[in-house]
Homo-oligomer: A and B are copies of this chain.
């Protein structure tokens, strides 16, 4: 498949690398590719700058947002919460019309430090804002409740014995994404939570996730819906 990924941070890179290793044709979208390729500084967590990472993953094509969706069979939003609506606007609603968009973004607000709060929650969600901004796009909210490594390698923890939800208005798109998560990444328990408003549930989980991370001192955990 030709898969386009928005965002060049750790989530975007981890997904890009995994899907490339599975033989897919991967494009990454960013605001200014030339500028992104000058980034050599490691981030706050010691991850390499994008330029160094890209040298080791040069089969991945870096393009401006406006070209990201061209010919894509699937688009994945791995932008930060704050960057999501701006980035998707730059990709262009018309370019995303009819396509499936996997939305992983979380509306994290770090303006008061750690743990973050959410800049939209409770009676609305970022997933809904994305769907409203892209009315012709088949938005499916998923993967946002685990860290990047677990998104693409759920079996790295407890042999994958944990759960992932999908939320979205398009039943076919949700079924295709659930299948994609199982076949490409190895998820086994994918729960259809309901329409895109149910993203209020999975985004709110981040308020728990960040505190569990603080308590467990390790981000390699996941939620199993025992039933």
A residues whose Cβ falls under 8 Å from a Cβ of B:
117-118, 121-123, 157-158, 161-162, 165, 191-194, 198, 200-202, 204-205, 207-212, 214-216, 218, 220-227
A223 touches B221 (CB 8 A): no
B223 touches A227 (CB 8 A): no
Cα(A212)–Cα(B221), bound, Å: 20
Q: What is the CB-to-nearest-CB distance from A179 to chain B, in angstroms, rounded to a whole number?
A: 18
Number of copies: 2
Q: What is the CB-to-nearest-CB distance from A72 to chain B, in angstroms, rounded to a whole number?
A: 29
B162 touches A226 (CB 8 A): yes
Q: Nearest residue in B to A191 (C-beta to C-beta)?
A: B215
A157 touches B227 (CB 8 A): yes
Q: Nearest residue in B to A125 (C-beta to C-beta)?
A: B207
Q: A226 with B121: in contact, given A205-B208, A208-B204 (CB under 8 Å)?
A: no
6 closest Cβ pairs, A-B complex: A201-B208, A204-B207, A221-B227, A224-B224, A201-B211, A204-B204
28 contacts between A and B (CB under 8 A): A117-B122, A121-B121, A122-B122, A122-B207, A158-B226, A162-B226, A165-B212, A191-B212, A191-B215, A194-B211, A194-B215, A198-B214, A201-B209, A201-B210, A202-B208, A204-B204, A204-B207, A205-B208, A216-B227, A218-B227, A221-B225, A221-B227, A222-B226, A222-B227, A223-B223, A223-B225, A223-B226, A224-B226
Q: Nearest residue in B to A205 (C-beta to C-beta)?
A: B208
A201 touches B207 (CB 8 A): yes
A200 touches B207 (CB 8 A): yes
Cα(A216)–Cα(B201), bound, Å: 14
Cα(A158)–Cα(B212), bound, Å: 22
Q: Nearest residue in B to A199 (C-beta to C-beta)?
A: B211
A221 touches B211 (CB 8 A): no
Q: Nearest residue in B to A150 (C-beta to C-beta)?
A: B226
CB-CB under 8 A from A205, the residues of chain B are 204-205, 208
Q: A212 with B193: in contact, given A122-B117, A207-B200 (CB under 8 Å)?
A: yes
CB-CB under 8 A from A191, the residues of chain B are 212, 215-216
Q: Nearest residue in B to A214 (C-beta to C-beta)?
A: B194
Cα(A58)–Cα(B225), bound, Å: 37
